[in-house]
Structure 1
């Protein structure tokens, strides 16, 4: 006797309910519930119990008997990739590479597979493109390794059977959303399908000792498509992001069980695919200008100090509620700095439209750019450039005092490399340099000394 059961699942956190809800009570997201149907057979569990089948006894072993040197990390030789994944791919891991459509996921993955195929047996399953389309891309990228084998079959059961018998070192699924299973009634790309497919690939990686890389789509909010449990099931999640105007691509780890999530890898899209950019600051700083509203700031990403241009435009507003258009920085942080300037410098920024952006499409999260935000706003307000070349580093508290920051010598070392000889920092900031001149400020009021108010 069988019965169909209908229930609703949140696409973000997989919370289940028997009726549709507008807002998920677990993750508080709106309009995320999708209808699911299961085919249950009464008495099946009773038959399984009556059969008297027992689970096998598990073999337990000490960790001291397991060798970590017999299967080292898988190095591709592409330094920007290897550093982000933690020094090479970990054997038996399940990895997701995601990003916007057209950002270059398949291109990067094909280049990485070609590099890994020098030492490993790699199977590449293209579920979105035909072998002819993959061949055209491979020819453009000069991917000619014989150990790199391809298939355009999207049938996951066949993929599993092939990999279990051939036992390749690395398996690539591009992409997981297009795979399908005959044993599953879920439509490809749905919540249940993604969960089931990921579980099957996780079993393949752990039981058969195969490293699995799969690409995934992202939603309009910029998060990986599918239930949130997918990120918990896999070992690592890497995002490929970028700014089309600079053709720069950033590889960022948002989860990595076997490495840090602070490192960034940089690539540049060219005619031969994605090329490594080991010196990203050389690309970023060449477009910087010493014009009103423009200042140079620095953000620490992993072990790298990025030199970024911060641009501000402050103009009188004709609206009842002046605009605040911010890109690359938390809007609340900019509004806070503007309020501090208005409070202690008596500048009516509340009557001005404020536009502010970070060049290169980067996102700033640290408070070390507070002084850079303040100087960019003042520079645009007074229509005078900040004396330079100079680097602005400092945190501003609610009383208007400029405070020192940590790791300042890392910023200084990168600034010296590009001939930036002036540091605009807190008066109390201790620095270790002989090539840069320190100009210290105690409060936001002291920043006015940089501008001719006449």
Structure 2
């Protein structure tokens, strides 16, 4: 018999040890070593060298000037929000990873999308978590029970490869990647090695046979897709399906896209009949706003290339303990603490003995620096118990010295605020220019938070 070589590899950094270690001496990660043997190396019967070369292209060095760049064709999903996130539609032969919390609606989204695609294309839905009968029940609820989609409950990758070779579908859905098993790999189903090996095999299937593969992946408690981080680098597109279980709205967020812009956002609403597209998310986030409330400010946030108006609320109350408490939801905690310190130093507000609670309404997670000015104004409004006019919006990054700094794509932000019906928008002074188009909204430039507070509160 051939000699079997055994080694242990860290799934975080790739460090190799001859024996099992609880803590990696290279990266310091705990419980990341996994047993590997020489039997792991397996040549897939799916791809021969000639097929691989024809799929990838010329395997010899070639001058870039002689390379012919082809524009990738797109297939519409009949869902404008999903097409926007994908960069204009589905690219044939791409591998798309969709991650999200359990129960957020990943399977529902894919069933709706592939149900529509099955009217024109051959779709194979591979499920490792549900039986064909369970999928049929969900399809009946979505009105897709008469779809020509092929259902295949299976977890064995060898059988899946043979089925794909036999059927030759245009689209394949893997639900989910954690349930798939490569029999030749000596590792537990759902482990880092299994997830990586299965994803590598799916990439070969997608690229060699030009089959679009959608892979569903669960998200861990830390907010990352289960499995090694290298999984995100192996696929063409990474989408996160996010949302609050207490809200009906879902956000499809693009983290990586080789065929389009990243950080694009699509909005959906979960209903009994499935996911419904939200054409005007700005109106959704603002429709329940009280007209004469304090501690509320509107910001024009940019998600990818899409401007969205969101409401930021702040509640400032005297602390009942020895130190002030800060709580945030949908806003970065460290950024909020920094802005509170800037307000106390540069805005002359005594906040060190005040509890501060900050939130973005509607479950929207706001991360860009352009929301700083709206956060500052919401805090000042609550502290002073003075309302901000409901027709005012704010855009601007705040520095440590209290200055309001320039932001990008100011024209798109101003246009969105005007279309929703706002009368005034406060922007950084350095974004103000004579070339700004007139959208029918008053544009007020500010240089510092002190100037902004004086203009709003007098």
What's the TM-score once normalised by structure 2's chain length?
0.88
The structural deviation recorded for 1:302 is: 2.1
Q: Provide closer, same or farther for how the CA distance between residues 20 and 310 of structure 1 changes in structure 2, counting only shifts above 3 A.
A: same
For residues 426 and 89 of structure 1, do their structure 2 counterparts lie closer, same or farther at Cα, with a shift above 3 Å needed? closer
Instruction: Check conservation: 1:390, 1:422, Cα contact below 8 A.
Output: yes
Q: 1:174 & 1:167 partners in 2: Cα distance?
A: 19
Matched, 1:9 2:14: no
Match of 1:437 in 2: 442
1:449 aligned to 2:454? yes
Aligned to 2:35: 36
Structure 1 Cα separation of the partners of residues 16 and 318 of structure 2: 51
Contact 1:76 1:116 (8 Å CA) reproduced: yes
SS at match of 1:400: coil
Distance 1:145 1:317, change over 3 A: same
Q: What is residue 111 of structure 1 aligned with on the other side?
A: 112
Taking the TM superposition and a 5 Å limit, the aligned residue runs for 1:92-107 are 92-107=93-108
What CA distance in whole angstroms lies between the structure 2 residues aligned with 1:282 and 1:309? 11
Contact map agreement 1:322 1:351 (CA 8 A) in 2: yes
The alpha-carbon distance between structure 1 residues 434 and 170, as it changes in their structure 2 partners (threshold 3 A), is closer
Which residue of 2 is the match for residue 165 of structure 1? 166
Partner of 2:46: none
What's 2:148 paired with? 147
Structure 1: state its 5+ residue gaps.
Answer: 46-54
Cα separation, 2, equivalents of 1:442 and 1:390: 17
Alignment of 1:241-256 (within 5 A): 241-256=242-257
Check the 8 A contact 1:5/1:37 in 2, yes or no.
yes
Aligned to 2:176: 175
1:148 & 1:181 partners in 2: Cα distance?
25
Does residue 1:188 correspond to 2:189, yes or no?
yes
The 3 A distance-change label for structure 1 pair 425 and 209 is closer
CA RMSD of aligned residues (A): 2.8
CA apart distance, 1:9:
2.3
Query: Which residue is equivalent to 2:392?
Result: 390
What is the match of residue 45 of structure 2? none
Any gaps of 5 or more consecutive residues in structure 2? 43-48
Cα 1:448–1:267 change in 2 (3 A) is closer
- Does the C-alpha gap of structure 1 residues 206 and 427 become closer, same or farther in structure 2, counting only changes over 3 Å? closer
Given the alignment of the two structures, is residue 379 of structure 1 paired with residue 384 of structure 2, yes or no?
no
1:297 is paired with a residue whose SS is: strand
> How far is 1:425 from its partner?
2.9
Is 1:221 aligned to residue 222 of structure 2? yes
User: How far apart are the structure 2 equivalents of 1:67 and 1:369?
Assistant: 39
Q: How many residues align?
A: 439
CA separation of 1:144/1:181 partners in 2, compared to 1, >3 Å: closer, same or farther? same
**2:99 and 2:240 in contact (8 A); partners too:** yes
The range that moved more, 209-218 or 434-443, is: 434-443
1:197–1:335 Cα change, 3 Å: same
Worse overlay, 132-141 or 344-353: 344-353
After TM superposition, list the pairs within 5 Å mapping 1:35-434 onto structure 2: 35-38=34-37, 61=58, 68=70, 72-144=73-145, 146-290=147-291, 291-427=293-429, 429-430=431-432, 431-433=436-438
Change (3 A) 1:24 1:109: farther
Paired residues of 1:14 and 1:229 also in contact (CA < 8 A): no
Change (3 A) 1:120 1:373: same
Q: Distance in 2 between matches of 1:72 and 1:381?
A: 54
Q: Deviations over 1:95-115 (max 9, x none)?
A: 211100000000000011011
User: Quick check: 2:426–2:444 contact (8 Å CA) kept in 1?
Assistant: yes
Q: Compared with structure 1, are the counterparts of its residues 427 and 74 closer, same or farther at alpha carbon in structure 2 (3 Å cutoff)?
A: closer
SS in 2 for 1:350: coil
SS at match of 2:21: coil
2:352 partner SS: helix
Distance 1:260 1:152 in 2: 34
SS of structure 2 residue aligned to 1:312: strand
Matched-pair contact (CA < 8 Å) for 1:128–1:175: yes
TM-score by length of 1: 0.88
Aligned to 1:51: none
The 8 Å contact of residues 9 and 36 in structure 1, kept in 2 or not, is answered as no
- In the TM superposition, what is the alpha-carbon distance from 1:146 to its structure 2 partner? 4.5
Q: Tell me by how many angstroms 1:450 deviates.
A: 5.1
CA drift at 1:339: 1.6
SS in 2 for 1:325: strand
What is the distance in 1 between the residues matched to 2:265 and 2:313? 23
Maintained 8 Å contact 1:13/1:228: no
Q: Helix, strand or coil for the counterpart of 1:332?
A: helix
SS in 2 for 1:259: coil
